[in-house]
């Protein structure tokens, strides 16, 4: 792609809506937009102007109106004894109105891409928005490639690579907390956290380089123990950052939670209580649920996909058998399992069989129907964390939510830490950097010359550069930006 081209794309989602936005970016943005607009006022940087979207009927179509439009404005001016308002025209003044629009002008370099940008906000009709794009293409613009606006922002130094990826995460946010985390990344939280680590690593490299290159000038060679101490100081914050990925991945992707148990222990009632809606059918008849019922809720800002399953027992008919097989599949696929038991009666053989199935899984034992009994419920041999609840009254539900978050790693939330890892690519690069530091320590302890130690330190630096975008390659760029929509 030619980054000097002026590009155009619809920047709002496909479909109909109250407002639709077409974005034009590049050196020719103003001249391309002018013939399709009748504006009340001249465009000013950072200001919106109201006007009309028109389809020019010739090269001399008006580009702007000072006040009013067409003969109506002239008639009013003549009635007032004033000269007709001036319009920017050439040889023709005929054009056909399409829509009323609000036009915003962002002047270079103070724009998203650092180019001149014109954003035309029209009514959200796909026909109107496509026509705006067609008019821009006819005037010499090029249709933007997927993610090209954000790629230009990156290549022009407006944002770094972590911020570019945060744009995508912000667009795809399902919860407010996800949006806040993405906004922190967009503000450069991860880059700011990495920058001191990188700076110390660069300083260590400079010390070793100086000891090698200027030995004849009596520049001291850094002792081995000091080199190891410097590397240890770098490892600690990098290891903390790598450990944050477990929670960051959870925030970004959420988790799947399966609710399992034998029939009539209150799984669907518990599901409805967690969803805070009567989403699943609840009756006193065992085996009511025959298929999987799913709903996504937010727990402390983390999207949790809840799956209500059919009661696990010996099937009474073919339909129930299919439902039980699906329950087993849901149990296998879930990140976390809630094993629901009826605490108002002793645990039976089916309960123990189910506990054996989840013995190697991350699971919580939910003792339901606590409103029916106050006696201690016993399940011999189970080491699972237990929570007593009543899906009927809501007793114990807050404690269950807290336990779900604790098992999922949500205890990280609330620490005030920003700039944690939410991206698998970042996690892999941090691990690569740590591996480079480990190799450097091994080399120093083996009395390897500093020239070879430097190779390991550079190997530790390059992955950090790839996170912030200072050194990258086309494969990484294409992978990141191809996941954007056309208008972003």
Segment 393-427, tens digit of pLDDT: 999 999 999 888 888 765 555 445 667 888 889 99
**Domain housing 400:** 251-412
Sign of the dihedral through C-alpha 166, 168, 174, 179? positive
Domain end: 159, 183, 212, which one?
A: 159
Reported in sequence order, the residue ranges of 207-330 that DSSP labels E, i.e. its strands, are 255-260, 293-299, 302-308
| 257 shares its domain with 390 | yes
Distance separating alpha carbons of residues 456 and 473, to the nearest angstrom: 21
Residue 364 and residue 304 share a domain: yes
CATH (domain of 308)? 3.40.50.300
Please report the pLDDT score of residue 400 as a whole number: 92
Structure tokens at 212: 């090698």
**Highest mean pLDDT out of 195-204, 276-285, 381-390:** 195-204
d(CA 268, CA 279): 8
For the cut 90, the answer to whether the pLDDT of residue 275 exceeds it is: no
pLDDT in tens, 20-46: 999 999 999 999 999 999 998 889 999
Residue 481 domain-assigned (yes or no): no
Q: What is the pLDDT of residue 312?
A: 65
Instruction: Compute the distance between CA of residue 25 and CA of residue 5 in angstroms, rounded to an integer.
Output: 9
Q: Is the dihedral of CA 44, 45, 51, 56 positive or negative?
A: positive
Regarding whether 406 and 336 lie in a shared domain, the answer is yes
Residue 74 and residue 65 in contact, taking contact as beta carbons nearer than 8 Å: no
What's the DSSP call for residue 77?
H
Mean pLDDT of all residues belonging to the chain: 81
* 92, 132: one domain: yes
Residues 261 and 404 in one domain: yes
For the chain, what's the residue count? 488
For 285, half-sphere exposure in the C-beta direction (CA atoms, 13 angstrom radius) is: 5
pLDDT tens, position by position, 147-166: 999 999 998 988 888 888 88
Share of the chain above pLDDT 90, in %: 33
Residue 141 has pLDDT above 90, yes or no: yes
- Are both 208 and 308 inside the same structural domain? no
Between residues 57 and 172, the one the model is more confident about: 172
Question: For residue 61, is pLDDT > 50?
Answer: no
- Same structural domain, 339 and 453: no
Chain segment 172-186, per-residue pLDDT in tens: 888 888 898 889 888
Apex CA 476: angle with CA 475 and CA 477, to 5°? 95
Taking a C-beta distance cutoff of 8 angstroms, is the pair 185, 171 a contact?
no
Q: pLDDT (tens digit, 9 = 90+) per residue, 284-313?
A: 444 455 467 888 888 888 888 888 887 665
Cα separation of 303 and 172, whole Å? 12
Tell me whether residue 282 is in a domain: yes
**In a 3-state reduction of DSSP, which class is residue 70?**
helix
For the residues of 157-202, what is the DSSP string, one character each? TSS-HHHHHHHHHHHT--SHHHHHHHHHHHTTHHHHHHHHHHHHHH
Instruction: Judge whether 480 lies within some domain.
Output: no
- CATH code, domain carrying 174: 1.20.120.430
Residue 106 in any domain: the answer is yes
| Residues 261, 214 within the same domain | no
Q: Which residue has the tokens 């944002």?
A: 159
Looking at per-residue pLDDT, the higher value among 346 and 64 belongs to: 346
The model scores a pTM over 0.85: no
Report yes or no: 281 and 288 within 8 Å, Cβ to Cβ: yes
Most confident of 291-295, 371-375, 425-429, 480-484: 425-429
Q: Dihedral of CA 45/48/50/56: which sign?
A: positive
Tens-digit pLDDT profile for residues 204-233: 888 888 777 655 555 557 888 999 999 999
Using an 8 Å Cβ cutoff, are 6 and 141 in contact? yes
Number of domains observed in the structure of the chain: 3
Within-domain flag for 332: yes
* Domain-located, residue 449: yes
pLDDT of residue 136: 95
Class of residue 180 by CB neighbours under 10 A (exposed 0-12, middle 13-18, buried 19+)? middle
| Burial class of residue 245, CB neighbours in 10 A (0-12, 13-18, 19+) | buried
Local confidence band at 77 (pLDDT 50, 70, 90 cut-offs): very low
On whether the CB atoms of residues 318 and 354 are closer than 8 A, the answer is: no
**Pairing mode, strands 385-388 and 255-260:** unpaired
Q: Which residues pair with 342 in a beta bridge?
A: 368
pLDDT digits (tens, 9 = 90+) for 342-365: 888 877 787 888 888 887 788 899
| Cis check: omega of the bond before 109, within 30 degrees of 0 | yes
Question: Long-range pairs for 457-461 at CB < 8 Å and ≥24 separation?
Answer: 457/201, 457/204, 457/205, 457/208, 458/205, 459/432, 459/435, 460/201, 460/234, 460/432, 460/433, 460/434, 460/435, 460/436, 461/198, 461/201, 461/202, 461/205, 461/433, 461/436
Statement to judge: residues 404 and 258 lie in one domain: yes
175 lies in some domain: yes
Q: What is the CATH number of the domain that holds 132?
A: 3.30.1360.120
Do 154 and 76 belong together in one domain?
yes
Strand ranges of the sheet holding 385-388, from the earlier edge strand across to the other edge: 293-299, 302-308, 255-260, 336-342, 363-368, 385-388
Together in a domain, 232 and 339: no
85 and 144 part of one domain: yes
Q: How far apart are CA 169 and CA 425, in angstroms?
A: 14
- Final residue in a domain of this structure, among 159, 191, 216: 159
The set of residues, in sequence order, having a beta carbon less than 8 Å from that of 448 and lying 6+ positions away, is: none
pLDDT of residue 488: 66
Q: What local confidence, expressed as pLDDT, does residue 94 receive?
A: 59
Q: Is residue 475 part of a domain?
A: no
Nearest-CA neighbor of 117 among 156, 89, 90? 156
Selected residue with higher pLDDT from 287 and 53: 53
Take residue 91 and report the two structure tokens written for it.
């040889």
């Amino acid at each position: 792609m030619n980054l000097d081209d002026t590009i155009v794309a619809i920047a709002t989602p496909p479909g109909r809506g109250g407002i639709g936005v077409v974005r034009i970016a590049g050196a020719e943005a103003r001249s391309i937009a002018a013939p399709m607009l009748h504006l009340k006022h001249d465009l000013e940087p950072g200001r919106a102007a109201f006007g009309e979207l028109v389809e020019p009927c010739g090269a001399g179509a008006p580009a702007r109106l000072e006040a009013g439009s067409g003969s109506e404005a002239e008639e009013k001016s003549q009635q007032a004894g004033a000269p007709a308002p001036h319009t920017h025209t050439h040889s023709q003044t005929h054009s056909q109105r399409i829509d009323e629009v609000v036009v915003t002008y962002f002047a270079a370099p103070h724009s998203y891409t650092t180019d001149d940008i014109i954003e035309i906000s029209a009514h959200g009709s796909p026909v109107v928005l496509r026509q705006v794009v067609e008019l821009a293409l006819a005037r010499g613009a090029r249709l933007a490639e997927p993610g090209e606006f954000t790629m230009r922002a990156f290549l022009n130094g407006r944002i770094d690579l972590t911020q570019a990826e945060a744009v995508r995460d912000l667009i795809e946010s399902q919860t407010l907390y996800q949006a806040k985390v993405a906004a922190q990344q967009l503000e450069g939280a991860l880059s700011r956290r990495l920058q001191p680590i990188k700076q110390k690593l660069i300083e260590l490299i400079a010390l070793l380089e100086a000891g090698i290159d200027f030995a004849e000038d009596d520049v001291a060679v850094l002792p081995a123990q000091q080199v190891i101490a410097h590397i240890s100081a770098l490892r600690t914050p990098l290891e903390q950052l790598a450990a944050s990925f477990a929670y960051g991945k959870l925030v970004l992707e959420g988790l799947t939670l399966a609710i399992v148990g034998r029939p009539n222990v209150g799984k669907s009632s518990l599901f409805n209580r967690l969803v805070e809606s009567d989403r699943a059918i609840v009756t006193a008849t065992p085996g009511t649920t025959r298929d999987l019922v799913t709903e996504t809720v937010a727990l402390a800002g983390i999207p949790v996909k809840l799956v209500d399953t059919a009661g696990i027992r010996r099937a009474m008919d073919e339909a129930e058998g299919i439902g039980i097989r699906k329950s087993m599949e849901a149990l296998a696929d879930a990140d976390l399992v809630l094993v629901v038991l009826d605490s108002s009666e002793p645990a039976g053989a089916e309960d123990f069989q189910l506990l054996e199935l989840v013995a190697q899984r991350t699971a919580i034992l939910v003792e339901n129907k606590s409103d029916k009994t106050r006696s201690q419920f016993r399940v011999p041999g189970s080491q699972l964390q237990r929570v007593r609840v009543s899906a009927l009254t809501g007793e114990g539900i807050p404690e269950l939510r807290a336990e779900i978050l604790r098992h999922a790693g949500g205890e990280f939330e609330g620490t005030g830490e920003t700039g944690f890892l939410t991206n698998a690519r970042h996690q892999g690069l941090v691990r690569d950097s740590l591996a480079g530091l480990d190799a450097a320590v091994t080399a120093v302890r083996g009395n390897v010359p500093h020239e070879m130690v430097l190779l390991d330190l550079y190997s530790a630096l390059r992955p950090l550069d790839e996170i912030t975008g200072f050194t990258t390659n086309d494969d990484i760029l294409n992978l990141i930006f191809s996941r954007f929509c056309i208008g972003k």
